Amino acid sequence: MTKAITVSGLHKSFGGTHALDGLDLDVETGEVHGFLGPNGAGKSTTIRVLLGLLRADSGTARLLGQDPWADAVELHRRIAYVPGDVTLWRNLSGGEVIDLYGRLRGGLDPARRADLVRRFELDPTKKGRTYSKGNRQKVALVAAFASDVDLLILDEPTSGLDPLMEEVFQTCVEEERDRGRTILLSSHILSEVEELCDRVSIIRKGVTVETGSLADLRHLTRTSVTAELAGPPGGLAALPGVHHLDVQGARVRLQVESDKLNAVLRSLTESGVRSLTSTPPTLEELFLRHYQEDIQAQEQAQEQEQEQTETGTGTKAVPR
Amino acid sequence: MTAMTSAAGPTAVRGSGSRHLAGTWPLLRLALRRDRVVIPVWVGVVALMVVSLPSSLKSVYSTAAERADVAHQMLTNSSLRALYGPVFGDSLGALAAWRIGAYAGVFAGIMSLVVVVRHTRDEEESGRQEMVSAGMVGRRAPLTAALLAALIANAALALLITAGLAGQGSSGALALGLGVAGVGMVFATTAAVVAQLTESARLAKGLTGGLLGAAFALRAAGDSAVSDGSSVLTWLSPVGWLENLRAFAHERWWVLLLFAAAVTIQGAIAYELAGRRDVGMSFLPTRPGPAAGRLGTAGALAWRLQRGGVLGWSLGFLAAGAAFGGVTKGATDLVGDNERTREIIERMGGQSGITDAFLATMAGMLGMVAALYVVQSVLRLHGEETSQRAEPVLAGAVGRLRWAAGHLLIAFGGAVLIMLLGGLGLTAGYGQSPGPILGACLVQLPAIWTIGALAVLLYGVSAQAAPAAWAVAGTALLLGWIGPALDLPAPLLNLSPFAHLPHLPGSEMTWPPVLILTAIATTLITTGLTAFNHRDLTTG
């Protein structure tokens, strides 16, 4: 099967700031792909390059087998896009805008449009200026889900939606997947991504730092284990991959790298387990780990600077 | 600030009034910060226009006898009275006030209405006001800050005019300065009222601008009927009050009371309305729209967005043409004794036959105003792009060129339409020779297009640069409108594309400049669109 999106080594800078610094992204046909990263990581820039609105400085990008810049118009017939902040024309009604966007793409399924308007509880007769943020978002979502397209590009599409509507949105995404459509979903709502996405890519500072299925990614991270034992534990600290070990009498809390879990469990059972909880890493932890690396690196750099100014030596190495 | 607060402390009962105004000072500073370029430019240009007039008038009419002669002629000609108002004296100051007063007032009015709407309805429409009003900001503070900003701008204008013309007589200079600022403040408060009534800033500016145009038309109608400004129609118009102040001709200071009364009444209405309504809402209700739409192409969307503007400009041009045509009938009364007067009229557009010259001048004026239309229409591209509305449209199966073409067709085709309607209006008002008059209007098109094409080029190269097109159109307007009267050197006047057009009707049609300008416009558009097709879209 061909890939819906392939991006490799994408660079884009605005003046002196490098928004994209060699970004890679692969989205398989028919999957829901989560696109994650902190604010300013380059998610929207990537999406705009994919839509042919920005021109990449270097690197390659292919969408549905075509070039997003050169074949923009042809491609857009098969793509629906929902921005994170929808602006509408103040004097056009929501219904008019839905139909306009539909016609500017491959066309609109009237039955599905009516169904979506009902499910999203949208009043299509209101004028653009009178919609709230969530309702503006619904206009764009209805237009996208009712369009006859192969690929949906959703850039933080649910900002402003209430929890009920968030659920409608998730059902819609699942329906689209069942119909064989590909979805690129950029989002900050990690529970949403966890619920919907087959695979995710995490980017930071314009570079992809992690990509794969959630199961793959979990494998790379730590599981939290809390156990109450019959006797005091022995030798846990010596095991590889164990972090944040906290022993209070017979009560043990620790984090262990997921692929080293076996050895820990063996050691625990030796002491006799009374109760055990093991929590797999959430996407949030996964995400925060990458985010915190950033913060730690910054803090370290600052410490180093301070030390240099304090001691004046500047050669002192900071232990990691 | 602290001193004021503590002084007000004991009399906290008064608080209900001042609470409504809380936050005015920071909002005023915000407004002035945002307008730190626009207001000084407006004030500077209008003041320069007024202040530079006496010296150029002196070079044209050097002796008192000449001035008395021209004043007499201008007073007896009803067409010229409609254009400029009656002459109340033959001093340089009086002639300057006559020649420029009404226009300076109109410009001050435009500046003021733009400033007020920009800091009131525009802010609410964009949603920014909501965040501001969530702070310690009184219900009436935004309006107060906007009116104070307009007051500061108008006061600066009055000061510059008074200082600049003091050499012609200080009380006359003061009267003219106060009168111009007075017209500005009247329309600042009109805009304040209108901004409470409409939900759209664009509509608020359009309606207030329409009222300003109507005020000018009332004055023109009144002045064409009587020669001393005493017509009821003139007295109904704030622009008419300015001339009835009679700056440099035994000033009638009590007329200033009219400005004060109008400002007070309109201000009170605006304040009353502002205190009663919800933020972001208006008194004119919005009606629901259709649940399904027929718009299906980028071109149809462009037309839907611009059709209101095209309609407004069309009606305006038809009406202005008819009014100009009407006053042209009287232009033949002009006695051609004064060489220089005729020379000015001729340099402004015609070579032979004073009526033809007059018609050519009117056609030229319509053309220069149409350049503003074309710039505004082209800049819709800029507005759509920077408001992020273009992004989802271009993410549809719409090429950039096709998207731009929709708006450009309306801009450049609309220019043909409004010039044609202006010509029809002129013909209807004048009552004869439709062919030559329509020709005179249509021959303006290559120059109008050239300015529009410059706007396309600027936009194509960079969205940030696009608003500079207003400066281009404004410069062409100033050069054409007051350049000849200022005796500016020919190379400077020739910077305007309008300077190269054949002066129809009355002189030979010359094709080369028309064709060359059309070719220049085509090249500029092509270059601009090519650049646009290769640049990044402005993103949020």
CATH of the domain at A172: 3.40.50.300
Residue A308 maps to a domain: no
Polymer length in residues for chain A: 320
A12 to chain B: closest CA residue = B536
What pLDDT, on the 0 to 100 scale, is given for residue B10? Answer: 37
Residue A46 maps to a domain: yes
Residue A18 maps to a domain: yes
Residue A291 maps to a domain: no
Contact residues on chain A for B295, CB-CB shorter than 8 A: 92, 96, 99-100, 103
Of A74, A89, A98, the CB nearest to B305: A89
Do A58 and A153 share a domain, yes or no? Answer: yes
Do A110 and A46 share a domain, yes or no? Answer: yes
Residue A10 maps to a domain: yes
Q: How many domains does the structure of chain A reveal?
A: 2
Whether pLDDT at B352 is above 70:
no
Do A201 and A230 share a domain, yes or no? Answer: no
Residue A178 maps to a domain: yes
Beta-carbon separation of B534 and A55 below 8 A? yes
The residue among B156, B179, B153 whose CA lies nearest residue B238 is B179
Q: Is pLDDT larger for residue B281 or for residue B88?
A: B88
What pLDDT, on the 0 to 100 scale, is given for residue B444? Answer: 96
Domain of residue A229, CATH code: 3.30.70
For an interface test with B, which of A13, A64, A78, A87 has the most B Cβ atoms less than 10 Å from its Cβ?
A87
Do A159 and A258 share a domain, yes or no? Answer: no
Q: What percent of chain B has pLDDT over 90?
A: 49
* End position of a domain, from candidates A213, A231, A263: A213
Q: Look-up: residue for tokens 């913060």?
A: A295
Residue A297 maps to a domain: no
Mean pLDDT, to the nearest integer, of B312-320?
90
For an interface test with A, which of B287, B297, B398 has the most A Cβ atoms less than 10 Å from its Cβ?
B398
DSSP B45-85: HHHHHHHTHHHHHHHHS-SHHHHHHHHHHHHH-HHHHHHH-
Beta-carbon separation of A104 and B397 below 8 A? yes
Full-prediction pTM beyond 0.95? no
Task: Band the pLDDT of B406: cuts 50, 70, 90.
Answer: very high
Among A179-188, A244-253, B10-19, which is the least confidently predicted range?
A: B10-19
pLDDT digits (tens, 9 = 90+) for B157-195: 999 999 999 999 999 999 999 999 999 999 999 999 999
Do A101 and A159 share a domain, yes or no? Answer: yes
* End position of a domain, from candidates A175, A193, A213: A213
Strands A207-213 and A251-257: unpaired
Do A37 and A148 share a domain, yes or no? Answer: yes
Residue A252 maps to a domain: yes
Do A94 and A70 share a domain, yes or no? Answer: yes
What pLDDT, on the 0 to 100 scale, is given for residue B245? Answer: 94
pLDDT digits (tens, 9 = 90+) for B428-451: 988 888 889 999 999 999 999 999
CB pairs under 8 A between A and B: 118
Q: Domain limits at A99?
A: 3-213
Say what angle helices A133-146 and A110-119 make with each other, to 10 degrees. 150
Whether pLDDT at B334 is above 70:
no
Paired tokens of B62? 């050097």
Beta-carbon separation of B293 and A76 below 8 A? no
Paired tokens of B166? 């003091």
Segment B123-129 long-range contacts (CB within 8 Å, at least 24 positions apart): B124/B279, B124/B280, B125/A90, B125/A129, B125/B199, B125/B200, B125/B201, B125/B280, B127/B280, B129/B279, B129/B280
DSSP character for A9?
A: E
Biggest CA-to-CA distance, chain A: 74
What pLDDT, on the 0 to 100 scale, is given for residue B3? Answer: 40
pLDDT digits (tens, 9 = 90+) for A286-309: 777 777 766 666 667 676 766 665
A113 to chain B: closest CA residue = B292
Do A149 and A275 share a domain, yes or no? Answer: no
Task: Band the pLDDT of B424: cuts 50, 70, 90.
Answer: very high
Task: Band the pLDDT of B415: cuts 50, 70, 90.
Answer: very high
Mean pLDDT, to the nearest integer, of B115-142?
85
Neighbours of B136 (CB within 10 A): 10
How much is the ipTM here? 0.73
The residue among B5, B16, B84 whose CA lies nearest residue B243 is B84
Do A231 and A165 share a domain, yes or no? Answer: no
Do A144 and A266 share a domain, yes or no? Answer: no
The residue among B318, B463, B316, B296 whose CA lies nearest residue B378 is B463
What pLDDT, on the 0 to 100 scale, is given for residue B203? Answer: 85
Do A176 and A246 share a domain, yes or no? Answer: no
Do A119 and A232 share a domain, yes or no? Answer: no
The residue among B92, B32, B18 whose CA lies nearest residue B58 is B92
